[in-house]
Structure 1
Amino acid sequence: MKIQGQKLLFLFFFLAFIMGYAQVKVSGRVAFKNKGISEVNVTLKDTYDGATTDGQGNFSFETSEKGSHILTFTHPKYETVEKSIVIENQSVAVNADLKEQISEIDAVVVSAGSIEASDKKRATALLTPIDIYTTAGADGQISSALNYLPGVQKVGESGGLFIRGGTGTESRIFMDGSLINNYFSNSIPGIAGRDQFNTSLFKGNIFSSGGYSALYGQALSGVLMLESVDLPDQSSYDIGISPIFLSAGFQKLGAKKDYSFGASVGYSILSLMQKALNFNTNFIDAPHGLNGDLNFRVKTKSGGFFKYYGMYNSNTMGVRSESLEPEYDFGLVRLKGKNTYHNLSFRQKFGKYLLNVGGSYSYNESDLNFSTETQERESDRTKLLTDGNYINFKAVLERKINKISAVRGGFELNNTNEKLNFEEVQKNYKDLISSAFVETDLGFSNALSAKIGVRAEHSSFLGKSNIAPRFALAYRLARDWTTSLAYGLFYQNPESKYINGPAELGFQNSQHFVFQVQRSSEGRSLRLEAFYKKYDQLIKTFNVIPGKEQNQQIQTALNNDGYGYAKGLELFWRDNKKTFKNIDYWVTYSFLDSKRDFLNYPVSLKPNFAAEHTLSAVVKRFIPEWKMGVNLSYTYAKGRPYYDIASTFDNGKAINYTRNEGRLKDYNALNFSINYLPNLGKKDAKAFTVLVLSVSNVLGSKNVYGYNFSVDGSRSSAVVPPVNTFVFVGAFISFGVDKTEDAINNNL
């Protein structure tokens, strides 16, 4: 037995020796662009033999296999490579060069000048509906929430988006690709109009403050592209109650979840708040209005989508203010406005092609009455009547080249028909702007991509055409760091309100240069952006005063001799619950240097709507145990310049000159809001309720937006907010839908 055991042990060692002697070493290096790649799995196909590359891309393993085999190299970020090898009795050396795996998730995206919020970009998403509703001071309005992002100026006395030294009319807002011509409600001079569209209507947006896509035009400064929701998660009924408005609506989802329809109606009036708060503005007719909307959405069997949205809004207000003219005690302005908007869109995939077709119709009517008042009587009213019909149609066909490259093209028609009647000025402005565009996204690798486009337009009113090239490039510097560069040429027609007589006019234009460095990681985002804008062919105007007693000036376009520039730096930092538990905050700083010689400016001046320094901060804290969200926001802006510009004739030549000028006090506003969810956590709750308390300008800062001057320039009055501190209390109730998880996940 002992001898037998010795034989078995000898046989065991002999076989081990033979097997060890038969092992062959396979080694090599795996690289991408001559740089070694770590963590690459190197495997002898259909065996268990293999290894993983080290930090320099080297690998080595031993195998007892013989003959012809396949060696595979796999890594999630690179394309799999297979190499044929022959294993005999000598070591085998194999090197491999990998190609980058193109991925929609990993690919760098051009982002210079733009901020995107959508389901696909949740990590750095901004301005989702939840963001807007929970931003103190935004009042649930998209345009107000934009004031807390880089590049946007808060100009409280006028409606519109003031972007990087541009006027409020130099930006455009689109819904599902179609132009919205009446996004803001009608208002009177010195009081900004409000958003007319419900924030919850939209599921995402792209805000571009420069260098935007060739698919959009007629905007010298920037665009906001809103994307409406597709189908709701389930049917629901909603009620909103507050001292200033009542609203109700519903959304009905089909049983097969392939269609939905809904409607809402609301009425608002400010008279109760006038009694509770100390208003700066003397409203003789408290602002009030009626609004309603309809929508339907249909998903076709082939995956296409039809969407319709229609809106109607009417509003009325009247204001009395002390007259600047010595012969009158008060000046009165009354407004009756109404407008409607309809949007129909369709998208459908046809193999490798995606078709997007959309159209919109807008109607806007504004009836402004100006009069003066003494102790004895009110003067006869002077009316400024305006109404406009606007039709927009756009078709875009897109074809995917690969996962991160695509080409798209299409055309757009924008028809305008406006009428104006004010004293001796009467006009009917008509224009058809025809546009064609083509654009391509080029993904060279996951680290390098470009967007190249060109847009051509023709204006029937101007009788002229233009061609506008656009270009953008993005490169990944490191894992979380990217840089982007954008350039574009942008054209815009002169505003129709200045076209009150014959003049040889052309397109206004601006050139954008944008450079951005961004760091994005889970829950954190840092953006540094520098920009330069050059304006050419801006219109110059001359002031005409139809009636001295009304002190209402009409500016009439003379030529396109205006010019200007805007340059600056912007910083944006957001930390979404990464550093502090349940705390989401962001900070924005913008520096702006801008000058213009346009409209009635006598020389090149800093625009009266552009602040040199702007700082804002937003903080949101969700307290689950209290079922409550607490939100703060703060805005500071360096005082803007103001001017009193008059006009005269010298030897038959129109001359504009400055009589009074200065700088406003710095703007400050601290805002506060609380959202309380009494149904939070109650799974059997039949209704979901949100109670809201919001206080704008908590500290009561007496901000000034500008000054009005008398006809001779000897007297002035400040343009101030209607109220220094505004308090809002409201309740929003949804029946038939449980939003508990949404509230927890989104920190409502």
Structure 2
Amino acid sequence: MKIRLILFLYFFLSQTFVFAQSILSGAVLDEKSKPLPGVNVYIKGSFDGGSSDSNGAFRFETSESGKQMLIFSMLGFESQELEVELSGSELKLPSLQLREEFNELNTVTISAGAMEASDEKKSVILRPLDIVTTPSANGDIIGAFQTLPGTSTVGNDGRLFVRGGDASEVGIYIDGLKVANSYGTTAANVPTRNRFNPNLFKGTFFSTGGYSAEYGQALSSALAMNTKDVAARSQGDLSVLSVGAGYSHTLASDKQSISLSGNILDLAPYQSLVKQNFEWERAPHGWDLELAAQSKLKKGGLLKVLARTEAGAMELWQAMPGIDGKGVLVNLKNSYSYAQTNWRKAYEQGWTLFAGASYSHNRDQVSYDSVAVDRRNDLSHFKFTAVKDFSGRLSAKSGAELFAHSYSEKLVRSELSRSFDDRESYLFTEWDWYLSRKFVLRGGLRGGYSSLAEKSWLDPRASLAYQVSENGTLSLAAGSFHQLPVDNFRVLNPNLQNSQAKHLILNYLLQAEGITFRAETFYKSYEDLVLFEGNPQSPSLLQNGGEGYAKGFDVFFRDRKSLKNTDYWITYSFVDSKRSYHQYVTQVQPDFAPKHNFSVVVKHFVSSLKSQIGASFSFNDGYAYTNPNLSGEMNSKTQAYQNLSLSWSYLPKPNLIIHGAVTNVLGADNIFGYTYTARPDEVGHYASLPIQQSAPRFIVLGVFLTLSKDKNANMLNNL
């Protein structure tokens, strides 16, 4: 009897189990409705599931019942969930489509007008190490960027000129915050440098046009430099150069780091040994102190602080045409301070928040012959941004900014003064929409208001990119850009309004392992440029009304693969630029915009000598200038500019670097224009003097020693 009961229960329960089994079937497709094989299909929280076959079909059994969650997952695609009701029968599901998953590694990026320089980006153009080892740059950030497409070398200035635009048309940012007076103050025709050291930064974003709606008040370009995160190690760095010395010390832990550095500069000993074209009464000299700190916060996020203060001076005689003797004595003293702090944190649900504030203060005390002027410039910048990744296909960045800007000039001996104060507010938003891995659209809008000009404006911007081959991308960018006049014009006429530029850029970028090729063509129009009567030193009747254009193309090729231990890049830019601006009532070629610009940079490492040898060559077809002895404006051009520079870096010990560099090795007599007498002589001729480079060549020698526990670290760790 017991045996019969056991058999009965066995067959009954077996039938029950068979009855409780459910069968799920269906098909998985991609976004083009094509079968998608290899998709994992399973019930969440169980071991029941299967995979789609070559036709995208799947079929499996499960003993689960009731409401269950069905998961569809495959590498490279967004996982999807589908709720099903299991009742012990076969459930045939409708076809389901999986969407591609997009991220920085598998999606196309917009490259029109933009050049990234960061270890985190696929397109690495210039890293901090590239900047300090470019022979012609002498460690100057801007000097290195002058070897990139779209830029022009103006040897008697030193600032960054982009695609027919004046240097004032380039906005410079650190961690997204505007830096006022980022170049050291200098006398006329004495080239300046960027104030900040390349080893502060982990990467840069350099746009030659069509840049993001996040940035404004720049008609031509945006250069955004991002500071480093927490330092990897503690170390001290001592540098002794032919023009000065410096020391930097870094203390670091897993969560935070702080660096303090100081430098002194004095060119007097150097200039006593090397011939100079200028008559110096007192060579340039100065000092600086800099603090950089980073901290990872307990609840996530990163806090950064950067502070810098410096002072410098120079005194020289500026020769004047038609005047005997040394000329006019110019005495310049400058003091500068910059401080900023910023915070960034990523949250769940795809949110990333940023908040920052910065303050710049600049004071120039200039004595020109018998005239003494005291100029002060202060800029405060407050910024907040929010980034939201709605999905792998759609993300948005929005933000708000406030600028407090004050400027003043005072004639010291007469106590006459003039000044202005302005409050500028901005709102911006920018959306990226990935239609596929190969196609992305970006749309942006930036609005601004100036309390001094009592004017508001709106700048729409748009760009797109399409991947045309495995390594090739085609990009297009267009947009509107506004910029208020420079301070020394606004203080003369506070009613001056924005100038405007419109950009249109077409770009092709080819990237393969160790190879970058970039070709770009562009058109830029100008409206409401500042016009005045007289000369730039004493302008009058300032008003908006100038206009013009810049058009052309540039090519960039970099190869770190073909030649062993060799890295080189070649750049060519053609710029056709004309504008009516300043004292020019007709559209002329500006004196800062040569038509043809060419540069080559080569670096080769010789293992047996523990050395890197570098060479760079720059060329342009000369600078336009006005000769009053001829009719018309900008009626003449200087001879072609050329500069061959060489460098050598030697690593005798792991913690010791010896470096030397020479600019203009061939001693080319580069002329940047001519200054003329205000009035002609008795025969109607205007006398002139050439505007020359400050010296036939510049030589720098340096020894860099790093102090650390393992004695193997060197300054390359900072780059």
TM exceeds 0.5? yes
Inter-CA distance 111–181: structure 2 relative to 1 (3 Å threshold): same
CA offsets 1:351-383 (integer angstroms, 9 cap, x no match):
332221111111111112122xxxxxxxxx211
| C-alpha distance in structure 2 between counterparts of 1:211 and 1:413, whole Å | 23
* Alignment partner, residue 115 of structure 1: 115
User: What corresponds to 1:497 in structure 2?
Assistant: 488
Question: 1:228 — aligned with what?
Answer: 227
Q: Which runs of 5+ in 2 are unaligned?
A: 1-24, 64-69, 85-93, 681-685
Q: What is the alpha-carbon distance in structure 1 between the residues aligned to residue 95 and residue 703 of structure 2? A: 68
**2:284 paired residue number:** 287
Q: Aligned partners of 1:447 and 1:660: how far apart in 2?
A: 47
In structure 2, how many angstroms separate the alpha carbons of the residues matched to 1:744 and 1:225? 22
1:558 paired to 2:558: no
SS at match of 1:677: strand
1:110-509 map, 5 Å? 110-121=110-121, 123-254=122-253, 257-326=254-323, 330-352=327-349, 353-371=351-369, 381-403=370-392, 405-422=394-411, 426-499=417-490, 501-502=492-493, 504-509=495-500
CA shift, 1:384, in A, is 2.6
Change in Cα spacing, 1:633 to 1:659, as seen in structure 2 (3 Å) is closer
% of aligned pairs identical?
A: 31
CA contact (8 A) 1:566 1:593 kept: yes
**Partners of 2:262 and 2:644 in 1: CA distance:** 32
| Cα pair distance change 1:541/1:168, threshold 3 Å | same
Distance in 1 between residues matched to 2:664 and 2:367, nearest whole Å: 31
Distance in 1 between residues matched to 2:603 and 2:418, nearest whole Å: 50
What residue identity is the alignment partner of 1:485? L
Counterpart amino acid of residue 358 in structure 1:
G
Measured after TM superposition, the shift of residue 161 of structure 1 is 1.7
User: Counterpart of 2:595?
Assistant: 612
Shift of 1:67: 12
Question: Could you list the per-position Cα deviations for residues 305-342 of structure 1 after superposition, in whole angstroms to 9, with x for gaps in the alignment?
Answer: 22111111111111123332347652221111111111
Q: Contact 2:588–2:633 at 8 Å: present in 1 too?
A: no
Q: Answer with 213-222 or 346-355: which moved more.
A: 346-355
1:666 to 608, 616, 640: 640
CA RMSD of aligned residues (A): 3.3
Cα 1:696/1:519, change in 2 over 3 Å? same
Q: What is residue 684 of structure 1 aligned with on the other side?
A: none
**Structure 2 CA distance for partners of 1:558 and 1:736, relative to 1, 3 Å:** same
SS at match of 1:145: helix
Deviations 1:436-491 (A, max 9, x none): 11111222221111221111111111111101111111111121111111111110
1: CA distance between counterparts of 2:226 and 2:183?
A: 18
Matched residues in 2 for 1:495 and 1:429: separation?
Answer: 12
User: In the aligned structure 2, how far is the partner of 1:43 from the partner of 1:109?
Assistant: 30
Question: Does structure 2 conserve the Cα–Cα contact (< 8 Å) formed by 1:567 and 1:593?
Answer: yes
DSSP 3-state at the match of 2:222: strand
Q: CA deviation at 1:119?
A: 2.3
Give the distance between the partners of 2:491 and 2:189, measured in 1 at CA.
23
Looking at structure 2, the residues matched to 459 and 49 of structure 1 have their Cα atoms a distance apart, in angstroms, of 63
SS of 1:678's equivalent? strand
Which residue type is aligned with residue 357 of structure 2?
Answer: G
Q: Can you list the C-alpha shifts for 1:67-112, whole angstroms capped at 9, x where unaligned?
A: 99xx99986444579999xxxxxxxxx9997642323310111121
Which residue pairs with 1:374 in the alignment?
none
Alpha-carbon distance in 1 for matches of 2:514, 2:333: 46
Shift of 1:505: 2.5
Which amino acid is 1:674 matched to? Answer: W
Helix, strand or coil at the partner of 1:105: coil
**What is the deviation of 1:296?**
2.1
Partner of 1:5: none
Who is 1:717 aligned against?
689
Partner residue in 1 for 2:5: none
Distance 1:51 1:157, change over 3 A: same
Letter in structure 1 aligned against 2:301: G
Change (3 A) 1:31 1:214: closer
Distance 1:478 1:617 in 2: 28
1:52-80 alpha-carbon deviations (Å, 9 max, x no partner): 96xxxx8999x9x9999xx9998644457
In the alignment, what sits opposite 1:7? none
Q: Distance in 2 between matches of 1:504 and 1:96?
A: 62
Per-residue CA shift, 1:678-730, capped at 9, x if unaligned? Answer: 124xxxxxxx1111011111111111122112112611111111112111110
| 1:213 shift after superposition | 0.9
Q: Which residue matches 2:106?
A: 106
CA distance in 2, matches of 1:637, 1:52: 62
Cα distance, 1:138–1:678 mapped onto 2, change above 3 Å: same
Q: Say whether 1:573 aligns with 2:540.
A: no
Asked if structure 1 preserves the Cα contact closer than 8 Å seen for 2:231 and 2:256, the reply is no
Relative to structure 1, the CA distance from residue 327 to residue 726 in structure 2 (aligned partners, 3 Å threshold; closer, same or farther) is closer
Name the CA shift for 1:632/1:700 in 2 (closer, same or farther; >3 Å): same
TM-fit CA distance, 1:529: 0.7
Change (3 A) 1:694 1:328: closer
- Give, in angstroms, the shift of residue 493 of structure 1: 0.6
Deviations 1:24-65 (A, max 9, x none): xx9x9977637788xx54799999999996xxxx8999x9x9
The answer to whether the 8 A contact 1:159-1:168 is kept is no
- 1:635-655 CA-to-partner distances (Å, cap 9, x unmatched) read 111112112579xxxxxxxxx
Q: 1:726 aligns with which of 698, 704, 708?
A: 698
1:409, 1:82 → 2: CA distance? 31
Following superposition, the deviation at residue 629 of structure 1 comes to 0.8
Shift in Å, 1:349: 2.9
Decide whether aligned partners of structure 1 residues 79 and 300 sit closer, same or farther in structure 2, where only a CA change above 3 A counts.
closer
User: Are the counterparts in 2 of residues 498 and 541 from structure 1 also a CA contact under 8 Å?
Assistant: no
2 CA distance for matches of 1:393 and 1:95? 52
* Aligned amino acid, residue 556 of structure 2: F
Could you tell me how far 1:218 is from its partner in structure 2?
0.5
* Secondary structure of residue in 2 paired with 1:625: helix
Task: Please list the CA deviations of residues 548-594 of structure 1 after superposition, one character each: whole Å capped at 9, or x if unmatched.
Answer: xxxx8312352211001001111111111x11111111111111111
- Aligned partners of 2:169 and 2:41: how far apart in 1? 63
C-alpha displacement of 1:403: 3.2
Letter in structure 2 aligned against 1:334:
N
The 3 A distance-change label for structure 1 pair 448 and 278 is same
Secondary structure in 2 matching 1:216:
coil
Q: 1:318 to 1:446 in 2, by over 3 A?
A: same
Q: Which moved more, 1:565-574 or 1:340-349?
A: 340-349
* Aligned residues between the structures: 669
| 1:165 alignment partner, SS class | coil
Contact 1:563/1:598 (8 A) holds in 2: yes
Secondary structure of the residue aligned to 1:439 is strand
The one-letter code sitting in structure 2 at the alignment partner of 1:609 is F
| SS at 2:532 equivalent | strand
Contact 1:107 1:404 in 2 (8 A): no
The answer to whether the 8 Å contact 1:608/1:643 transfers is no
Query: Any conservation in 1 of the 2:706–2:715 contact (CA below 8 Å)?
Result: no
For residues 103 and 584 of structure 2, the distance between their equivalents in structure 1, rounded to whole angstroms, comes to: 52
Q: Measured at CA, do residues 632 and 183 of structure 1 come closer, stay the same or move farther in structure 2, by a change above 3 Å?
A: same
* 2: CA distance, partners of 1:434 / 1:349: 26
SS in 1 for 2:652: coil
- What is the TM-score when the length of structure 1 is the normalising length? 0.83
1:214 to partner: Cα distance: 1.0
Gaps of at least 5 residues in structure 1 are 1-25, 85-93, 372-380, 545-551, 647-656, 681-687
